């Protein structure tokens, strides 16, 4: 995506981190807001502001994804606490629904782990 940068109209916008929707918007704004009659100092100021905003949005997205992964880690830890009761069960358990309840806890761990993986891979 072409965009003006530091007064250079031939700058190519190539993010080093995952491109956020805000980064994509900033790239489009750069294309629209880089008129040729804009003086260099003004263009550099605009490009600097857009670059700072883009970096802030990337950091915000990174914080959000890390927070999501941590929340799922805590959820998994809580579920593991309940699973510790599995050690007290025996094959003689008369209420067979207990086994299904424990199976569902494992399913929830899988879902939380998958969500955490997705959040972290989005970084």
**Residue range 79-105: mean pLDDT, rounded:** 95
Proportion of the chain above pLDDT 70, given as a percent: 80
d(CA 7, CA 47): 8
Angle at 104 between CA 99 and CA 107, to 5 degrees: 135
**Residue range 112-116: mean pLDDT, rounded:** 98
**Residue range 1-21: mean pLDDT, rounded:** 47
Supply the pLDDT for residue 107. 98
The model carries a pTM of 0.68
3-state secondary structure 35-96: CCCCCHHHHHHHHHHHHHHHHHHHHHHHHHHHHHHHHHHHHHHHHHHHHHHHHHCCCCCCCC
């Amino acid at each position: 995506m072409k965009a003006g940068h530091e007064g250079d109209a031939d700058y190519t916008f190539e993010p080093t981190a995952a491109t956020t929707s805000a980064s994509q918007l900033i790239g489009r704004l750069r294309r629209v807001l880089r008129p040729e009659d804009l003086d260099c100092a003004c263009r550099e100021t605009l490009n600097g502001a857009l670059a700072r905003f883009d970096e802030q949005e990337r950091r915000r997205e990174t914080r959000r994804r890390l927070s999501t992964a941590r929340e799922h880690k805590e959820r998994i830890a809580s579920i593991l606490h309940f699973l510790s009761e599995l050690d007290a069960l025996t094959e003689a358990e008369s209420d067979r629904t207990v086994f299904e309840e424990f199976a569902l806890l494992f399913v929830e761990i899988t879902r939380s782990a998958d969500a955490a993986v997705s959040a972290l891979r989005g970084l």
